[in-house]
């Protein structure tokens, strides 16, 4: 039985949502989830499943492991939901999560996606020497003011808004000294809080251009299909509905900012009132509360959250 797709969007998490044990429960209970992890192990030639289920955490935190691990866990959860008959009318993913969204939309094969994001992680890590770049979270300051802070702090270096997550939270990225100057300026200009983040590279800024160029070559070698489900892409906060636009958006998002707040408002304008975060953690569910508390937001990362989500849709008669 298919549950109606009216006004449902599936959201797929990005880097930072990883945790040892992710996907283990679903893989033990649902053959389709176990199969997903087996496919990833085969595609990558490593025991990614063991790293997800057992760690160690320091290995799971390596960007080139983190990215395929989160993608695989997210696709496993999506496939279980799909088997249960819950299908969305739109999909979106935060940065890395956009690859999970495209797997769900049928744009990219899972094997191609999991290999590509391992390389994506590797390229991002190698683009900037450790210590040269940094990221910081600016809380309680609007985009216009954050952009001005970045411009004033840059002093010839790179400093840019990287993740425009919600009205409450914007992450900035660039050269370490410029980002440190920006956090001090943000504090002085009335931000609720400005704090440096513990990240391995300055994602979503101009410093990632070498990674973007390498990834573009990989993406152009892959077969992309027209998405079967409309995908809200990060870099434009727009719907992509053809193969070339999907590929182009994935290339540009490496140096472009993640327009998450605008992407969610776009989906609301399309009539979405119920969002399901599919994959590890509850980061996107938390951001939705900051964007619009009136929206319904579920999440699926293990058996309990899966059952709760399915019960929700049964109770509302979806």
Task: Name the CA radius of gyration of the chain, rounded.
Answer: 19
User: Mean pLDDT for the chain?
Assistant: 95
316: pLDDT confidence band, cut at 50, 70 and 90?
confident
What CATH architecture does domain 8-127+207-315 belong to?
3-Layer(aba) Sandwich (3.40)
Taking only the tens place, the pLDDT of each residue in 217-265 is 999 999 999 999 999 999 999 999 999 999 999 999 999 999 999 999 9
For the chain, the distance separating the N- and C-terminal CA atoms, rounded to the nearest angstrom, is 11
Choosing from 102, 204, 257, 305, which is the catalytic residue? 204
Residues 6+ apart with CB under 8 A from 237: 259, 262, 263, 265, 266
Distance from C-alpha of 305 to C-alpha of 302, rounded to nearest angstrom: 6
pLDDT at 317: 64
The DSSP H or E segment spanning 32 is helix 31-44
1 has pLDDT over 80: no
Q: Which of 49, 95, 246, 305 is catalytic?
A: 95
Could you please report the per-residue DSSP string of 66-122?
Answer: HHHHHHHHHHHHHHHHHHTTB--SEEEESTTHHHHHHHHHTSS-HHHHHHHHHHHHH
Q: String of b and e for 140-175 (b: at least 16 CB within 10 Å)?
A: ebebebbbebbeebbeeebbbbbbbbbebbbbbbbb
Active site residue 204: yes
Q: How far is residue 243's CA from residue 240's CA, in Å, rounded to a whole number?
A: 8
Domain with CATH 3.40.366.10 in the chain: 8-127+207-315
Quote the pTM value: 0.96
156-202 per-position pLDDT tens digit:
999 999 999 999 999 999 999 999 999 999 999 999 999 999 888 99
User: Looking at the domain 133-199, which fold is it?
Assistant: Alpha-Beta Plaits (3.30.70)
For residue 277, give the 3-state DSSP assignment.
Answer: strand
Q: What is the pLDDT of residues 65-91, one digit of tens each?
A: 999 999 999 999 999 999 999 999 999
CATH 3.30.70.250 boundaries in the chain: 133-199
Active site residue 175: no
Asked if the model's pLDDT at residue 206 lies above 60, the reply is: yes
């Amino acid at each position: 039985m298919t549950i109606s797709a009216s006004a449902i969007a599936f959201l797929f998490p990005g880097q930072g949502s990883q945790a040892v044990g992710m996907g283990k429960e679903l893989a033990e209970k649902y053959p389709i989830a176990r199969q997903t992890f087996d496919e990833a192990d085969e595609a990558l030639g490593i025991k990614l499943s063991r790293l997800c289920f057992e760690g160690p955490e320091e290995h799971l935190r390596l960007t080139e492991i983190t990215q395929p691990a989160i993608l695989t866990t997210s696709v496993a959860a999506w496939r279980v939901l799909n088997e249960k008959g819950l299908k969305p009318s739109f999909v979106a993913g935060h940065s890395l999560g956009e690859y999970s969204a495209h797997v769900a939309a049928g744009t990219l094969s899972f094997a191609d996606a999991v290999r590509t994001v391992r390389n994506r992680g590797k390229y991002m890590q190698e683009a900037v020497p450790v210590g040269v770049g940094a990221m910081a979270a600016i809380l309680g300051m609007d985009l216009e003011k954050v952009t001005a802070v970045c411009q004033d702090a840059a002093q010839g270096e790179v400093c840019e808004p990287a993740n425009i997550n919600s009205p409450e939270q914007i992450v900035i990225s660039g050269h370490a000294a410029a980002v440190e100057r920006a956090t001090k300026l943000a504090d002085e200009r009335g931000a609720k809080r400005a704090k440096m983040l513990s990240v391995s590279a300055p994602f979503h800024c101009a410093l990632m251009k070498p990674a973007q160029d390498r990834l573009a070559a990989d993406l152009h070698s892959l077969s992309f299909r027209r998405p079967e489900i409309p995908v809200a892409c990060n870099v434009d906060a727009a719907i992509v509905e053809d193969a070339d636009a999907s590929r182009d958006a994935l290339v540009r998002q490496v140096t472009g900012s993640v327009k998450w707040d605008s992407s969610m408002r776009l989906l609301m304008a399309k009539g979405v009132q119920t969002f399901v975060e599919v994959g590890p953690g509850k980061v996107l569910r938390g951001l939705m509360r900051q964007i619009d508390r009136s929206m319904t937001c579920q999440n699926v990362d293990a058996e309990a959250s899966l059952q709760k989500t399915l019960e929700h849709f049964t109770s509302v008669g979806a």
